[in-house]
Structure 1
C-alpha cells in the first residue's frame, strides 16, 4: 500500500484540499508584497539641494537659478550639486560664462512629495552618493531569504510542516512590524534580513502542505491555482502602495495579513505523509479521518495498515543515503547540475531584474507595477498549455530568449516612444514569468527520484543568488544608463541557450536513479505519460 492509495480512499481532491489551499492563500499572497516592496519603500523621488542664506526679495525660482546649476537636459535643477557661491549674474544676462565651481549639497535635500509622502530615501537622505544603499537593502533582504530556505527546509523535514509554518509566521510578523519602526538604516537592514528569513519558511511550508494532501492527478492543477496567489499579492501591492504612500505604514499594511494567518494556523492540518514517514501513526490517523469526514468519505485505512505503511516509509527513509555530492559524482549528473544552475540563476535574475525596475516608461509607477503583476496571470496559464504542445525545452529556451530580445528592443527604442517601450517591457515581463513557471516544472522532471529533493534545493539556491544580485545590477545604471539592461538581457539569452542543452522530458518516464540519467543516448527510457512531480518546488517564493 502507498500513501496515494489512502488518498484515493478519502478523496485526494475534495473540499478538504480546497480548504487547505484557501487557508494558505493569504500568507502566500504576502510573499510578493515583501519581495517587491523595495519598488515603493526605497523609491527615490525627484530632489534638489536645500538652499539656505538670505537672498533679499528674490522669488523661489530666482533663488534656485542663482544657487543650483540646471541639468543639461533642461529638466530642472541638478539633484546633487549646488554653486559654491550664488551666481547673481544669471538674473541679469542668463549666462554664467565660465563654469563656476560647484560642490555637493551642504544643507540636505528638498524632495518632490507628489508621489510618495515619505520613503527610506527621503527620511535618511539615501540619495546622490548614498543612493546605492536603497538597493542594498533589497539584496540584504534576499540574503535572509537564502538563509531561511536552508534553515526552514531542514526544520520542516525534522519537526514537521505545521510547526515550522507557525515559527515562520511568528518570525515574519514580528520582524516585519519591527522593521516599520526602525530608527536607523543599519537596524532596518538587519530587520529586513530577518523578515526575509521568516518569509521563506512560509513559502516552503505552505506549498508543501498544499501539495502533500493532494492526489497525483490534481497536483499540477493545485500548483497552478496556488501559484496565482503570487500574482494576486503582486497586484495588491500596487493598490496598497497607492493608498498608503508613506513607507512605514506601507510595511505595516503588507505585514498585517500575517495576523490573520496566525489566527487560522490552528485549522491547518499537518502533513499526513510527513507524520507516517516519521512513525507518528496515531496523529496521521487523526488528520486522515478529519480529511475523510470533510470530504464525506469513509474513514481511512485501519491503524494496522497505516502502521505497516509508516514502517515501510521509515525504512525507506533510512535507506536513502544520497547527498548533494551525488549531483556531481557522475559525468551526466555534473552536466545536468551545471546547466540547471545556470538556467535557474538566469530565470530568477531576469524576473527580478525586470520586476524591480518599474520606472522609465512614461507610466505611473503604481500602474506599471500593477500591469507587470497582471500580465503574470495569462502568462502562467498560457505556458502550462504550451508546455504540453511544444515541450519543456523549447518553452524554457523560447521564453528566456524572447525575454532577452524584449529587453534589447527596449534599449534601442527612443525614449519618445514610451507607449511602445511600455508594451515591449510588459511583454518581456510576461515572458519572464512564463520562464519561471516553466523552470519549476522542467527541473523536477530532469532530476532522478533519489536525488530530486537535493537537486531542487540546489537549483532554488541558485535562483536565490540570482534574486540577491538583481538589485545590485540595477545600481550599475550610474556607470552607464543601459548597462543593467545589457547585463539582464545577456543573462536571459545565455541561460536560454543553456537550456537548449538539456534533454526533453515531455511524455518521458521520469528517471528514478542516477544510472537512469547516465545511460547512453541509445538506451533512453521509453516515453510514457507521467504526472510530473513539479509541484514540490517553491515557485518564485525563493
Structure 2
C-alpha cells in the first residue's frame, strides 16, 4: 500500500482538515486587517503652517478688519507645488503686496519664507485624529511615518520566526514530512489523531509502525538526504526553482505593501477605494483559482506579475487630473498582485519535494516580508522625483514575472516527494523536448 492510499484511509478531506483551515484563516483575517489599518490611523490630512494672522485671536484683532480669511491666507502662506497653500513653509512677514490685483503669486522669494516653526494647522473634517496630526509627522518628519511602517513589518517578520515555533503545539505538522525526516513515532501519532478526528477509528486502531514502514519504503530510503537551505541553493535541479520563486515572493511583498500602505497617493477617497479593493478581491481570488486549474501555474504567475507592473507603470504617464483612470489602474494592479500571491502560494508547494517544501515556503515568506519592509521605504525616492516610486514598484513585478517563465509547469503533476523526483521531472521534460525537436550532432573536420 502506497503512502497516498494510507492518507486517503485516514481521511484526506474531513473534520480535521476543516478545523486546520479555520485555525489558519481566522488569525490571517485579523492580521491583514491590522496590516492595512495604517491607511486610516496614519492618514495625512491637509495641513499648512500655523500663522498668527489666521490662528492667533490677538493677531486677528490687531490686523486689518476688512480682509477675509482667504486674503489673510494669501499674504501669510505661499503657494505650493499643487497650486494650493504650501504645506511646509510660511512667509516670515505678511506679504501685503500680493493683495494688489496686478501682483502674481510668484512675487516673492525663497528668502522671504521660513519652515513651520510654530507647528501646523490640520484639516480635521475627514480624519478627526491620526498619528500624523498627533505627532506632526509631516514635511521634514514625514520620513518617520514611513519608517514606522517598515519597523512594524519588520516586527511581523520577527514575530513569524518566534511564534511559528509556538504554533507547532496546536497546528499539526505534515505526517509525510515527519516520517521522511525519521520521526516515526510522532508521524504515527499525527496520523492516528487525524483518523480519530475524521471518525476513522478502525483505521486508527490498525495503524502501526509496520504499516507505516511498508508504505514508506521509497520515502524512508532518502530520509538521510540533506534538507537544509544549502540544499535548495546548491542542488542543480532546485537552484533555479528556489531563486525564481523567491523573487516572485519578494515582488509580491515589495509591491503590495509599498502601494497598499499609502492609498492616499492613489485616490483621494481612501474609504471608497479600500472598500472597492476588498469587494473586487473576492472574485479575483476565486477567478485565479479557476484559471490555475485551466491555464496552469507558470502562465498565471508570470501574467499576473507582469500585468500588475504594467498597470503601475502606466500610472506614471497618466496625468493627475485623470483621477478615475489612475484609480482604475491602481485597483487593477493591486488585484493582479493579489492573484500573484494566490498563485505563488500554491505554485511553491508544487515546485519542491516534501523534504524541502516547508524550507522553501519559509524562504519565500521571509523574502515576501523582507520586500514588505523595503516597500514603504521606496516612497522616500519621491523627494527626488514624484514618479520614481511608481517606476520602482512597476519594474520589480515585471522583471519577476518574466523570471517566472523559467520555472517548470506543475499543473496535473504529482507532488514530488524527494529531490530525485524533481530531477526525474527535469529529465523527462528534456527527453520530451528532444523527441519533439531532435538534434543531429556532427563532428567538425
Q: Normalising TM by the smaller chain, what interval?
A: 0.7 to 0.9
1:330 to 1:212, Cα distance in 2 relative to 1, 3 A: closer
State the partner residue of 2:411: 506
1:523 to 1:25, Cα distance in 2 relative to 1, 3 A: closer
Contact 2:179 2:220 in 1 (8 A): no
Q: 1:456 aligns with which of 343, 349, 361?
A: 361
Contact 2:308 2:333 in 1 (8 A): yes
2:118 aligned with 1:107: yes
Q: Distance in 2 between matches of 1:450 and 1:144?
A: 29
The TM-score, its normalising length taken from structure 1, stands at: 0.68
User: How far off is 1:343 after superposition?
Assistant: 1.9
State the partner residue of 1:142: 153
2:91 aligned with 1:80: no
Q: Distance in 1 between matches of 2:151 and 2:174?
A: 32
User: How far off is 1:507 after superposition?
Assistant: 2.3
User: How far off is 1:402 after superposition?
Assistant: 1.0
SS across alignment from 1:69 = coil
1:479 to 1:310, Cα distance in 2 relative to 1, 3 A: farther
1:311 to 1:128, Cα distance in 2 relative to 1, 3 A: farther
2:335 aligned with 1:391: no
SS across alignment from 2:80 = coil
State the partner residue of 1:40: 40
1:299 to 1:115, Cα distance in 2 relative to 1, 3 A: farther
Q: Distance in 2 between matches of 1:106 and 1:94?
A: 31
1:28 to 1:340, Cα distance in 2 relative to 1, 3 A: closer
Return 5+ residue gaps in structure 1 as ranges. Answer: 163-204, 217-271, 528-542
Q: Distance in 1 between matches of 2:297 and 2:129?
A: 45
2:142 aligned with 1:131: yes
Contact 2:354 2:418 in 1 (8 A): yes
1:490 to 1:445, Cα distance in 2 relative to 1, 3 A: same
State the partner residue of 2:316: 411
1:473 to 1:25, Cα distance in 2 relative to 1, 3 A: same
5 Å-filtered alignment, 1:257-268, equals none
* Number of aligned positions between the proteins: 417
Q: Distance in 2 between matches of 1:368 and 1:134?
A: 21
2:93 aligned with 1:68: no
State the partner residue of 2:31: 31
State the partner residue of 1:250: none
Contact 2:297 2:343 in 1 (8 A): yes
User: How far off is 1:141 after superposition?
Assistant: 1.2
The C-alpha deviation readout for 1:477-527, integer Å capped at 9, x for no partner, is 222111111001110110011111112222234433334444595544999
5 Å-filtered alignment, 1:365-380, equals 365-380=270-285
Q: Distance in 2 between matches of 1:401 and 1:325?
A: 30
5 Å-filtered alignment, 1:136-215, equals 136-156=147-167, 160-162=168-170
Contact 2:6 2:215 in 1 (8 A): no
Return 5+ residue gaps in structure 2 as ranges. Answer: 433-445
Q: Distance in 2 between matches of 1:520 and 1:291?
A: 36
Q: 2:185 aligns with which of 250, 270, 279?
A: 279
Q: Distance in 2 between matches of 1:145 and 1:402?
A: 28
Q: Distance in 2 between matches of 1:307 and 1:31?
A: 43
2:383 aligned with 1:478: yes
The TM-score, its normalising length taken from structure 2, stands at: 0.81
